[in-house]
Amino acid sequence: MFTRTSPSTGPGSPRVTGFYEADSGSIQYVVVDEATKKAALIDVVLDFDPEHGRTRTDSAQEVLDYVRDEGLEVQWVLDTHPHADHMMASAWLKEQTGAPNAIGEKVREIAKLWEKIYNTPGAFDPDRDFDRLLAKGDTIPLGELEIRVMFSPGHTLGSITYVVGDAAFVHDTLMHVDAGTTRADFPGGDSGELYRSLMEILALPEDTRLFVGHDYPPVGDRKDPAWEATVAEHKAHNKHLGGGVTEKDFRKIRDERDATLALPDRMLHALQVNLRGGRLPEPEDDGNSYFKIPANKF
């Protein structure tokens, strides 16, 4: 797996290591308070093979191997939103580490939306499957550091950003500066909401390191995945926002682009797992779990 570490810039600043999961283009993060060696795991992937309906924990295990090798203690298992393009490893990581898991509180609304899409009333219970449902402005400790929650809807109606010192984990809002931003056409998404979330993120201090959720190289002449840039770099050079794009112009760019995109190949499987905190659907009388996939819905 391709990995890269962004070192702490000094007191109050975390060390951040990103692990690139190529099948879904996802970046998984280990965020470390150097003073205490406490760590938070953000958006870690449960591997899934859609052709065979099979899950694996290889990517999550690689993250835990790093945690062990570095002598870290996991304090939190965090997700920024119920991902459409990969399954979350939250439940498995909680079992392995004993650390509590958390996500944004509006996952309750996302669960209600997808219960209707799947026609599975009562199937999802975020209060059961997550230890904390976080609201805008909430803070949680990471060793001697503090994790602050920003509400960042648009990609989904309940996406959140985690800010830790001079690092912010902005998930599926921005992409790397040479790729722009991410889609806002999933159920509950909205390009206007996304633009306003982006403006709030870009109002953070100019030297804030922004860590994105996905990359899909090659991009131009760049062959390796990339996921870190500062607020200043995005404001100046982001493909969709650089130079001060207006909301009207951004929405035109984003909506026209989204209209050309297919659904992620894992989406209809992944939401059934992620809205259960990373658990598969309850086993049936033969001991196996089954996915319910709506026909002709999208």
pLDDT digits (tens, 9 = 90+) for 46-86: 999 999 999 999 999 999 999 999 999 999 999 999 999 99
Q: Residue 141 above 80 pLDDT?
A: yes
Look-up: residue for tokens 């633009």? 195
Strand boundaries in the chain, DSSP class E: 2-6, 15-21, 26-33, 38-42, 45-49, 54-56, 73-78, 87-88, 101-104, 132-134, 139-142, 145-151, 160-164, 167-171, 209-212, 228-230
> What are the domain boundaries of the chain?
2-263
What's the pLDDT tens digit per position in 80-113? 999 999 999 999 999 999 999 999 999 999 999 9
Distance CA 183, CA 292 (A): 25
CATH number for the region 2-263 comes to: 3.60.15.10
Q: What is the pLDDT of residue 251?
A: 97
Q: What is the pLDDT of residue 29?
A: 98
What's the pLDDT tens digit per position in 231-267? 999 999 999 999 999 999 999 999 999 999 999 999 9
The number of beta carbons lying within 10 Å of the beta carbon of residue 179 is: 20
Q: What is the pLDDT of residue 24?
A: 95
What's the pLDDT tens digit per position in 283-293? 999 999 999 99
Task: Please give the helix or strand (H or E) that residue 113 lies within, else none.
Answer: helix 107-118
Q: Tell me the β-bridge partners of 133.
A: 103
Is the pTM value of this prediction over 0.85?
A: yes
Q: Which amino acid is at 70?
A: E
What's the pLDDT tens digit per position in 167-206? 999 999 999 999 999 999 999 999 999 999 999 999 999 9
Nearest to 63 by CA among 33, 24, 25, 89: 89
Nearest to 160 by CA among 43, 56, 289: 43
Q: Residue 207 above 90 pLDDT?
A: yes
Average pLDDT, the chain: 97
Q: Residue 39 above 80 pLDDT?
A: yes
Distance CA 124, CA 111 (A): 6
User: DSSP per residue over 119-144, as a string?
Assistant: T-TT---HHHH-SEEE-TT-EEEETT
Q: What is the pLDDT of residue 1?
A: 75
